[in-house]
Structure 1
Amino acid sequence: MPPPHPPKPVGVRYPPGSTNLPATTIEVFLDFCCPFSAKMWPTLKALQAADAGVQFVVQLVPQPWHPQSAVLHEVGLSIRELFGDAAFFDYCDLIFLNCQSDFFDDKTMDKSRSQLYEDLASRSFPSDGERKAALLAFLGLKGEGNSGSKATQLVKWAVKYHRLARSVHVTPTVFLNGLEAGDVGSGWTVEQWTEKLDNL
């Protein structure tokens, strides 16, 4: 039997007296290149649509054993930075529901970083040349050497959070109200999630 979880998030809510916050916070750590993250994604969407009184927080974990994963995350975080949360979740749907396997090792081994950026930008904004151009410009190198792009710091923050604040190594990893829920699996159904949440 897994350890118990707190019935509400650990800590004190601010501002005092807030009543419109959900009872349960579910923090999910996902990798755009992880097939198990993709397996969990539709269930999370269905659970959120069911209005189960939960707040989801999506955290990103680019796994270094898939070099192209960093590129996938750079693009996703850049889209959020440039175009907002809704566009970011559209990108999540694009990758997890439509084309993730196109970016697996066997399909990307001989592709350059620039080719991956171009492919992802074209898929993200197939009929919006302005957004595509803005995204590719954001992903362009800032200077010589290892200067990175404007996306580099965004990836560093995501990696620092999952490494230091949460010690997350594999994906997907789930935290309920601030504590890891090691029993939650990528193949869980909405019914299994609902039972887990009802027990809180």
Structure 2
Amino acid sequence: MPPPLPSSPQGIRFPPNSTTLPSLEVGVFIDFNCPFSRKIYNTIVSLSSSNTLPNLHFVFHLVPQPWHPQSSILHEFGLAVHALFGSEAFFKYASVIFSDSQTTCFDDMTFEKSRKEIYAHLCQLCEGFVDSDGASKVTEFLSIKPGSGNSGNDATKLLKFCVKFHRVRGVHVTPTVFINGVEAPDISSGWTVEQWAEKLASV
């Protein structure tokens, strides 16, 4: 039997719920536990608020880094939020986790925490846009059923698709940026909104 395939294109589009067709697509590979991913994410959010290119789409791709074990948990949670509540909720989660991760989710802060404890912390972070019923749905989505062995949870397959997507493109460092499918190695997480605008206008 062949391996499963995703039912929709990979990545999460920003701005969410855009109805325009992209003529310029920027793929941004990020890790929720990476401070440089945080910088580029915040810059792109600022850029989008003043964007003058109507057919510009950003697509965020998740890259959990295995040397930070909690990274996979942060991404699992984000994928669960996206699957259950859509893109707008996902980007609210992304903004919250990037604001919080450096103080509560780095290696030194999670070393003695279990997977369930980290999930519980992430649920608390989402209280502003996910109610208690929604948090229960996320918890159920991420639960490991007794007797299920090593089959994972409902986010496992989604996470595997993310990992396959970045591996076949040779993405290792976060953030990494592709413009219309081709890597743009000159783009830096330290770029300003003005540098981004100049780069995109030149394409």
TM-score by length of 2: 0.85
Find the counterpart in structure 1 of residue 154 from structure 2: 150
Matched, 1:47 2:37: no
- CA apart distance, 1:21: 2.3
Matched, 1:130 2:133: yes
Q: Percent identity?
A: 50
Rounded to whole Å, the distance in 2 between the matches of 1:26 and 1:52 is 15
Secondary structure of 1:63 counterpart: coil
- CA apart distance, 1:52: 3.4
Unaligned segments of structure 1, at least 5 residues:
1-19
Secondary structure of 2:136 counterpart: helix
Matched, 1:187 2:194: no
Q: Is the 8 A contact 1:125 1:131 kept in 2?
A: no
Larger radius of gyration: 1
Rounded to whole Å, the distance in 1 between the matches of 2:106 and 2:159 is 20
Q: Which residue of the other structure, out of 178, 183, 187, is the alignment partner of 2:181?
A: 178
Find the counterpart in structure 2 of residue 99 from structure 1: 100
| Cα deviation 1:41-66 (Å, max 9, x = unaligned) | 11100111112321100000000010
Unaligned segments of structure 2, at least 5 residues:
1-19
| Cα deviation 1:58-106 (Å, max 9, x = unaligned) | 000000010000000000000000011100000011011x201110001
TM-score by length of 1: 0.86
Q: CA RMSD in A?
A: 1.2
- Runs of 4+ more than 4 Å apart: none
Rounded to whole Å, the distance in 1 between the matches of 2:144 and 2:199 is 45
- The amino acid of 2:62's aligned partner reads L
Secondary structure of 1:77 counterpart: helix
Q: Which residue of the other structure, out of 55, 63, 74, is the alignment partner of 2:65?
A: 63
- CA apart distance, 1:121: 1.2
Find the counterpart in structure 2 of residue 199 from structure 1: 202
